[in-house]
Structure 1
């Protein structure tokens, strides 16, 4: 049994990962989010809810005490500041393992027409997320960066991965697949250490996601 801190616990992927972790593992979950009244514990014996901001180092340090793994499902225009705060807090508390959701395109790794569309559609978003990723890559944490394709709510777990430096594959992937990949890393935290992993559903190549 491990203690898992989930940052941004009200996010859609985070809620799916929470559900899978409760169903399939004995882990204890600390759910960290702004306005904690938005959620309630599914299992009061195995979940603790903490109200806090992911750019507040002191709040993060308090929540991180006693944790084994941190999974960050964060977003926002201040994502780089959140990354800096998370690294500072984990360094201060001695926690090494971090799983971080990013996005495709932060290394200009998406090829062809889809890459052009992705860059044009995301624009400044990519720069912010690339800056946050660099904060983690420059740290001494045992991080895994996850770069999902465009997300769907399809009820399927079907994914393949690529590594930093390889061309990104596919155009879309289900949130359920990303949650399953997160749970896989939580259950075996020795996997993908200091890797930046692209995740897509096989056979979804195209000029843009099918739902656009």
Structure 2
């Protein structure tokens, strides 16, 4: 049985991944978030809920006791500080495997008109801290996988392709359900894409911007 710590467990992708993990695996989940009362329908046989702050190294370290995989679904302008705290806690707890949700564009890897549009939307306070946070993860002595999703939709579809760091990003959008499925697949096979950074998009969504803009 795999013990998984989900940081930011009330996030939209995290909730989808949680549901899929409960339905399709035998993993035990520790759900870590601010305001734990937001978590509903807890399976007490497989889930533990912790109210905590992802910049609190001591709290994170305690939550990582007995954990095999950390899945971090964090994000805001403080994500660099969160990354530093997660790395420090994992080092202290002796946990190595990390799945880290980031965003597209952190390597300036998005080509063409969509790349320009993406910069126009994300530069100036959003893309910069995500880039810095990814650099913290990549410098750590961890078995990490960074996930860089395209622009996210709520489509009820699982359809995605991957690009590696150093390759041009493909597509413009991807469903949250697809990203959650990738997270679950990495948890099921924790040896896959170790120290990799994966762009994730829905095939055949190329264009100057996502279809919903």
- Class of the TM-score when normalised by the shorter of the 2 chains: over 0.9
2:60 match: secondary structure: helix
- After TM superposition, give the deviation of residue 40 of structure 1 in Å: 2.4
Question: Could you tell me how far apart the structure 1 residues matched to 2:199 and 2:42 are?
Answer: 30
In structure 2, what is the equivalent of residue 49 of structure 1? Answer: 49
Q: Which moved more, 1:34-43 or 1:115-124?
A: 34-43
Question: Could you tell me how far apart the structure 2 residues matched to 1:200 and 1:104 are?
Answer: 10
Asked if 1:162 corresponds to 2:163, the answer is yes
In structure 2, what is the equivalent of residue 97 of structure 1? Answer: 97
Asked if 1:138 corresponds to 2:139, the answer is yes
In structure 2, what is the equivalent of residue 206 of structure 1? Answer: 207
Question: Could you tell me how far apart the structure 2 residues matched to 1:157 and 1:38 are?
Answer: 26
In structure 1, what is the equivalent of residue 40 of structure 2? Answer: 40
Question: Could you tell me how far apart the structure 2 residues matched to 1:166 and 1:138 are?
Answer: 20
- After TM superposition, give the deviation of residue 43 of structure 1 in Å: 1.3
Question: Could you tell me how far apart the structure 2 residues matched to 1:152 and 1:42 are?
Answer: 26
Alpha-carbon contact 1:41-1:49 (below 8 Å) kept:
no
Taking structure 2 as the reference length, the TM-score comes to: 0.99
RMSD: 0.6
Question: Could you tell me how far apart the structure 1 residues matched to 2:35 and 2:22 are?
Answer: 22
1:49 match: secondary structure: strand
Alpha-carbon contact 1:41-1:48 (below 8 Å) kept:
no
Question: Could you tell me how far apart the structure 1 residues matched to 2:42 and 2:57 are?
Answer: 27
In structure 1, what is the equivalent of residue 116 of structure 2? Answer: 116
In structure 2, what is the equivalent of residue 4 of structure 1? Answer: 4
Q: Runs in 1 of length 4+ with deviation above 6 angstroms?
A: none
In structure 1, what is the equivalent of residue 154 of structure 2? Answer: 153
Q: How many residues align?
A: 212
- After TM superposition, give the deviation of residue 41 of structure 1 in Å: 4.0
Taking structure 1 as the reference length, the TM-score comes to: 0.99
2:126 match: secondary structure: helix
- In structure 2, the gaps of 5 or more residues are none
Question: Could you tell me how far apart the structure 2 residues matched to 1:136 and 1:75 are?
Answer: 14
Question: Could you tell me how far apart the structure 1 residues matched to 2:206 and 2:69 are?
Answer: 33
Deviation string, structure 1 residues 104-125 (Cα, Å, up to 9, x no partner): 0000000000000000100121
Deviation string, structure 1 residues 87-107 (Cα, Å, up to 9, x no partner): 000000100000000000000
Asked if 1:28 corresponds to 2:28, the answer is yes
Question: Could you tell me how far apart the structure 2 residues matched to 1:184 and 1:38 are?
Answer: 26
Deviation string, structure 1 residues 59-110 (Cα, Å, up to 9, x no partner): 1001001000000000111100000000000000100000000000000000
- After TM superposition, give the deviation of residue 42 of structure 1 in Å: 3.3
1:32 match: secondary structure: strand
- After TM superposition, give the deviation of residue 167 of structure 1 in Å: 0.2
